[in-house]
Amino acid sequence: MSTVESEIVGGGLLDTLFNSEDVYLPSEPQSVRELGLSPVLIESLLCKYLLQVGSAAGRRIAESIALPFALLEPMFADLRGRQLLFHQGQAQLGDYQYALTEQGVDRAQAAMASNAYVGPAPVPLDDYILSVEAQSIRAEAAGEDALAQAFSDISVEPQMLDVLGPAINSGAGLFLYGTPGNGKTTIAKRITKCFGSHIWVPHTIIEDGQIVKFYDAAFHERVTESKSSLLKSGNSDQRWVKIKRPTVVVGGELTLDALEIRHDPVSNISEASLQLKSNCGCLLIDDFGRQKCEPTELLNRWIVPLENRHDFLTLASGKKIQVPFDQLIIFSTNLEPMDLADEAFLRRIPYKVEVGDPSIEEFRMLFQFSCKSLGCQYRPEAVDYLVQKHYRPLGRPLRRCQARDLLTQIKNYCVYRGLPMELRPDYLDRAVAGYFATCGDNATSPATPGGQS
């Protein structure tokens, strides 16, 4: 991208940060200056879009590059005057169908060779930083009621919520550790629900002429607004997407390069790092200690961001940029934290929460939850039979995942045989025989019968 194309002009989001109810809303820009982008960059996006589709109505072009039609109308006229566009015909609502002239095709091809990005116009990095400050997870307080609501659809004892609450409100991160199968990942995924329901994120960011793709459907879930909500909030800047607070989950596939801005030299388009995508939400490092890189490498990468609440990333141009590090980072592991990190790092993760085995009462409650979700009548005597025959005599530990897993085996058997699903002792015998043989968990654990945590 040329110097003039990469220019970001003054203006931007600062003066339109909140709506009348003091709720963050990137409102629709009323001038090109408010966009914070140079006209040359906008022209480039417009021409590249037409190069792809051949021709389109002005309003369709505006929708595709996420800019107000009213701001583009003078630009259409200017591009026609410079013989880059021509009218191919009339469109609805006094609009025109536009196409590129030969000179316009040359202009678009040159822009495409420089940067192949076609889509919503980018947001300046400074505007994105302001948005994170306005929507910071650290500004949210998660009280008892919020936690109870977030965990209402799973079985978590009140004592566990009392431990999690302060850790969540610290915003400093936490270790969730304990034996496999006790719901560490499930608990971590519920934590984001304790905070405000939604945030706004940009489709793309621009800095130093570099386009960085930000919105990621793999991690960001769009919020669909009702007509009444749209009328109440007014028009928003279409370069932004309203999403649920993100929970970015990565496991053993995580590598160090995913924590940096990744650049495609062919398209000259970059991709935001995982921690950027998780800002204002949660970043869950699942199964920590099983990644391809050493745990110490990952931890060392985050020592400074955890301390200072900002990170330094490098653009393809070589420029270092400072960005917010504003998420609750959760390390979920089957290993002891002291076996993974040194004392200096553990000080920066002040909360270590052990997720132990469920009590017998909670084990029964888990069966009730799972029976309800699978459409099966709960029978307490069947669970008593299960514990008395397959757990207590063998010293087999209770795990939170087992109720769901055993009932799923029963369901699959009943579907295969064409039988109604029931919680019966003989069905439980069959499920146990298959499940624990597969898991290699045939009562070798010395855990106390009854699953005391």
Question: Could you please report the per-residue DSSP string of 221-251?
Answer: -B-PPPHHHHHHH-PBPTTEEEEEPPEEEE-
Residues 6+ apart with CB under 8 A from 229: none
Quote the CA–CA distance of 407 and 382 in Å, as a whole number.
12
Sign of the alpha-carbon dihedral angle for 398, 400, 401, 403: positive
Q: Which is it for strands 310-314 and 247-250: parallel, antiparallel or unpaired?
A: unpaired
* Contact call for residues 171 and 137 (beta carbons, < 8 A): yes
Low-confidence ranges of the chain (pLDDT < 50): 1-7, 15, 19-22, 231, 440, 442-453
Nearest by Cα to 205 from 132, 266, 113, 126: 126
Quote the CA–CA distance of 51 and 433 in Å, as a whole number.
63
Quote the CA–CA distance of 412 and 8 in Å, as a whole number.
59
Sign of the alpha-carbon dihedral angle for 229, 232, 237, 242: negative
Token pair recorded at residue 405: 């897993």
* Contact call for residues 263 and 116 (beta carbons, < 8 A): no
Identify the bridge partners of residue 206 per DSSP, sorted by sequence position.
Answer: 124, 211
Residue 118, sorted as left (phi over 0), alpha (psi -120 to 50) or beta, turns out to be beta
In this predicted structure, what is the pLDDT of residue 167? Answer: 85
The residues spanned by each domain of the chain are 3-120, 132-354, 360-439
Quote the CA–CA distance of 148 and 362 in Å, as a whole number.
16
In this predicted structure, what is the pLDDT of residue 16? Answer: 52
Quote the CA–CA distance of 434 and 411 in Å, as a whole number.
13
In this predicted structure, what is the pLDDT of residue 3? Answer: 35
Q: Does domain 3-120 fall into CATH 1.10.3720.10? A: no
pLDDT digits (tens, 9 = 90+) for 354-391: 888 999 999 999 999 999 999 999 999 999 999 999 99
Alpha-carbon distances of 203 from 115, 128, 216, 244, rounded to whole Å: 16, 11, 8, 15
Token pair recorded at residue 310: 């900002």
Quote the CA–CA distance of 17 and 261 in Å, as a whole number.
26
**CATH number attached to the domain at 132-354:** 3.40.50.300
* Contact call for residues 366 and 400 (beta carbons, < 8 A): yes
